[in-house]
Amino acid sequence: MKSIQLICTLLVLALICSCSSNDDGNNENDSLNNYTTECENGNGPNTITGPKAAYWDNAKGVPLPLTQPPLLANMEGYYIHNSYPAIGFPLPQGYSGFDIYDQASGTFGVDVKRNDNKAVWTYIPTTSFTGNFTITDAITLIVNKMFSDVGFNGNSYEVECSETQPVNLGGGVTRIYSARLIRFGDFTGQVYAINTTLEGLVGITYVSAAASVGPTNEYNSLVANIFIPLNYQLLVNDNGLLDSDLDGVPDVDDAAPNNPNIQ
């Protein structure tokens, strides 16, 4: 659904608009390492720094402080979703891709897991739920998935950043965006979920979600070298936003990216 994936379009456009090819890699690293932002953590304002701070803001559509496209430095193999081939991209060295798919709920997505299962990037552009499925339900679901992916079974965690933004898009479309940056055990992870409801479709909530998690002592490096490049290459090619079926609607906004008769 176009409305479900609007945040992804904003993120990709933010990446594209902030990139050129003039500066070297050291300047890029400095820009990310020196980045600072403030967020709310439930107890008041909190200042975070480095790549994770830029990543947190970028998930809301804030441009990254980069002048070059954020590409993977070391690639190994290529992932293509078996049931949704529009999701396809090079894999980082030492990582594998795994389908997320459920036909009944219209769910598709991908987990990209490091071979030691201690770093995971999850992208779920769409799924759906019936009944009263709240944004709290959605964010809880993706947080619990993130915990499970790295084998965390504890109850102790610290929320570094928390944000929920309700937005009325007009035309009978209502969206709620919610995100968390969490430290737990030896890990740090960022998640977001977006609930979208359409006027006239009572009792159906469309959800998109994403998560990026890894060891806390590696997290900023993972964000800069793995998570940001994966976000970028998923929806962008040399000509801009991908449009697999050439119907004039980018894949990120296309309800059926491989069918030119459906947009």
**pLDDT, tens digit, for every residue of 200-258?**
888 899 999 999 999 999 999 999 999 999 998 876 655 555 555 555 655 555 444 44
pLDDT at 42: 85
| 12 contacts: CB under 8 Å, gap ≥ 6 | 231, 232, 235, 236, 241, 252
Give the CA dihedral 79, 84, 86, 91, nearest 10 degrees. -10
Contact 85, 108 (CB under 8 A): no
Note the pTM of the prediction, 2 decimals: 0.82
